[in-house]
Amino acid sequence: MKWFLCAVLVALMEVSYSAKIVYRENDAPGGCVWKDVVQKVGCYRDGGGGGGSARPLTEELVNIRDPTNPAYVKDLHLIWNNWQGSLNGLVCECAKRAAAKGYKFIGLQFYGECWSGPKSENYAQDGEASTCIQQYSTPCDVDNEEHPCVGKEWTNYVYRVKSAIKSGHKSAIKSGHKSAIKSGHENAIESGHKSAIKSGSKSAIKSGSKSGSKSGSKSGSKSGSKSGSKSGN
C-alpha cells in the first residue's frame, strides 16, 4: 500500500512539473506577455455572416483547439487545466500574425480560436455580447490586466493590436514632420522673397538717389560754367 501511495505521489509531482513547463511555454512564448502586445476592447457578437453580410472578423489566424484546422498551431495546443497560459500563448501568436498583415484588431472566439481580417475595424457590426469569460466561468473584466478573455461560440472578445497603434503613431509623427519641413520651407521662401524685394527696393531707391544727385550736380556744374563763360565774353 505504501509503495502504491508513493508511486501515485511521484506521478502527481511529475504531472505538476509538466504543467508548469507547459504553462511557461504557453504563457510567454519568446518572452511574450499578452498585455504587452494587445489592449482589451470588449465582447462582441459574430453573426456568422448571416443575411448575406460578411463576418465581422473574416480570417482565422490561429487555432489551438482543433488539430484538423488549417490554422492549428501544435506548439500552442489548448491545455484545459492551464487555460490561462494557453490563452496567453494564443493572444501573443495571433497579435504577431495580425501585425505582420497590418490588421488592427483580433478576436478570441470559441475558447481557442483567434480571428482578424483586413477590415477588422468592423468588429462591432453585429453588436455587443455578454458571453465572454476569463478564468473558465468568470465574466470578462475589460480593466483586468492579469487575465486574458475569450468569447464562447459565435462571440469575439476583441483586442486592439498595440503594434498597430505604435505604427500609426510613427506614421503620424513622420507625416507631421514632413509637413512641418515643407511648411517651413515655403515660409522661408516667402520670407526670403519679401526680404529680397524689400532689400532690392531700398537699394534701388538709394542707388537712384545717388545717381540723381551726382548727375544733377555734374549737369548743374557744366551748365553754370558754360553760361558764365558766355556771359563774360
Tens of pLDDT, residues 24-52: 444 444 689 999 999 999 999 999 877 77
* Domain membership flag for residue 193: no
* Domain membership flag for residue 53: yes
How high is the pLDDT of residue 208? 46
Q: Which residue has the higher pLDDT, 114 or 173?
A: 114
* Domain membership flag for residue 207: no
* Domain membership flag for residue 215: no
Domain count of the chain? Answer: 1
Is the per-residue pLDDT at 139 higher than 60? yes
Alpha-helical (H) ranges within the chain are: 2-27, 34-37, 83-101, 162-232
CB 108 within 8 A of CB 91: yes
* Domain membership flag for residue 152: yes
Residue-range definition of the domain harbouring residue 54: 36-167
